[in-house]
Structure 1
């Protein structure tokens, strides 16, 4: 177990017959992180998370959480872990508060935890409404409130924004982002939504067909995206000829001149040079590879997430 690592797996694998659902995955989730576990549907995300909770038995490999072996210390580990896997479980005929009270008895926590968890997910004003009358987003928040009830050191969430509208996604995103700093909770969440991981995670693991293809800080992943400058002028042919004399090497793309690896100073100088030569610069845009483009490069497959 590395220093400050909350979750660490080694050669974690799960086979169903001859099919490798998860193949020798080495996860490293550091304390205080929001770790985004990213991959297409069917990539092995949920199976991996279930193995971390002891809900699925690995075919091979080891799991260490809080520095302890899951095989030997599962009750102790789960006491410090909250989770929401696949979809929230609740009793529809009970109110939100009554559902929380059921979970309170199971987790043996004080009343103040119930009130605080409902406040965090903004359900305090809806706690007396039956859960079956909740919107999809409210049901998801109730599930997260149940997972937060014991204020765990580790929170594991499987596709927490799945099926939500944009407003609901924004609410869950802001909630999750607040947990490490406000409550000292390390978050491990899975998603197939690249944009969500990009906005919320501090670290990321990319899994495809059961194989972990990338793991590291979001900054490291973003550095794989080299920006390009797209330039449009009143006379691209003349502009290209003049810029070649100055050492620039544009590539024509439709009605644009495209430049790689330019810094801001280069762009300013190029703009000034063209204007001084009576060529109107009508548009300058910076294009960066999206997280999806980077994902496709890492996996080497043009596949939908």
Structure 2
């Protein structure tokens, strides 16, 4: 187990025409993680990933991969890295098998790896079909197979479920989830789909307008969301006055009093106080925010991803 992050950036910045697309990003990805890089389209995800691979030169900042500086050790780093950025590259007139053979020979990899990756991405029965005949989902899987061909230590996937139907999304999701345990890979996957990151990643980074707003485990992200208890009553103003005498300061939201999360005994006590003062309570409900709610709070923007 490494004692350093597999990926570490410091103050990573890329500016186009005076406007920062990636703005002083300090990213850390630990070994064995599935790190979900989450943000709306245009947030800076792809630009960041391209800088991690040396495809785009940073305006400012540094990139270390496997504990080595990318600019000084790019070829050694790329030999241990597989990637699929934006969309798969392939020769449409060649079969899936032939496309993989081209990659295998270029990289001087064992021929047996081809059969293995075809099986992993479930294309073994379509190996003799030309790539132009593949569905969008099959093309995505061929791109992932090419990225996996060297069985890299680090796999970087940029929006791998883009354009796929629900069944295709589910297949790619299960594939990604299997890689760290089965092949000792670290996976960095970007997405604008909140549900995919929530179901796939062990850690997450949230980026918006080039700025990294959150970074940590999924559990740490969810911990930012304290459950709220909602009391529905027909006299919210009177209820607040009554409860203030007992030290409670709920927020009024329409006909509801909203409290931060509390134990069941506390909920019972508040309900008892209100009922004893002839204030009717028609519903008590505990609510937790979704990952999307947390995202919108972090970005301060009421918009869909």
TM-score, scaled to structure 1: 0.87
The alignment partner of 1:5 has SS state of coil
Pair 1:152 & 2:155 matched:
no
Aligned to 2:227: 227
Answer whether contact 1:63 1:70 (CA < 8 A) is retained. yes
Q: How does 1:1-305 map to 2 (within 5 A)?
A: 3-230=3-230, 244=243, 253=253, 258-267=258-267, 285-305=285-305
The alignment partner of 2:6 has SS state of strand
CA RMSD of superposed structures (Å): 2.8
Q: How many aligned positions are there?
A: 302
**How big is each residue's C-alpha offset from its partner over 1:70-123, in whole Å with a ceiling of 9 and x where there is no partner?**
111111110000000000111122221111111111222112211111111111
Answer whether contact 1:236 1:257 (CA < 8 A) is retained. no
| Structure 2: 5+ residue stretches without partners | none
CA distance in 2, matches of 1:118, 1:197: 25
Tell me how far 1:205 sits from its aligned partner.
Answer: 1.3
Answer whether contact 2:235 2:255 (CA < 8 A) is retained. no
The alignment partner of 1:173 has SS state of helix
Cα 1:18/1:249, change in 2 over 3 Å: closer
**How big is each residue's C-alpha offset from its partner over 1:184-215, in whole Å with a ceiling of 9 and x where there is no partner?**
00001111112211111111111111111211
CA distance in 2, matches of 1:167, 1:280: 48
Cα 1:267/1:165, change in 2 over 3 Å: farther
Answer whether contact 2:37 2:191 (CA < 8 A) is retained. yes
| Structure 1: 5+ residue stretches without partners | none
Answer whether contact 1:5 1:31 (CA < 8 A) is retained. yes
CA distance in 2, matches of 1:113, 1:83: 16
CA distance in 1, matches of 2:167, 2:46: 25
The alignment partner of 1:57 has SS state of coil
Tell me how far 1:230 sits from its aligned partner.
Answer: 3.9
The alignment partner of 1:150 has SS state of coil
TM-score, scaled to structure 2: 0.87
CA distance in 1, matches of 2:5, 2:97: 34
Tell me how far 1:285 sits from its aligned partner.
Answer: 3.9
Cα 1:252/1:17, change in 2 over 3 Å: closer
Tell me how far 1:144 sits from its aligned partner.
Answer: 0.6
Answer whether contact 1:251 1:259 (CA < 8 A) is retained. yes
Tell me how far 1:152 sits from its aligned partner.
Answer: 0.2
